[in-house]
Amino acid sequence: MFEVFKTNIEDSNLADQIATSFKSVFPNVHVNFDLSDSDRIFRVENHPDHISKLEELIKNTGHHCEILD
pLDDT above 90 covers a percentage of the chain that reads 49
- Secondary structure (H, E, C), 16-31: HHHHHHHHHHCCCCEE
Q: Tell me, what's the pLDDT at 47?
A: 67
The 10s digit of each residue's pLDDT in 48-68 is: 677 788 888 888 889 999 999
Q: How many CB atoms lie within 10 A of CB 56?
A: 11
- Sorted by where each starts, the structural domains of the chain and their CATH numbers stand as 2-67 (3.30.70.100)
| pLDDT computed for residue 46 by the predictor | 80
pLDDT given at position 12: 96
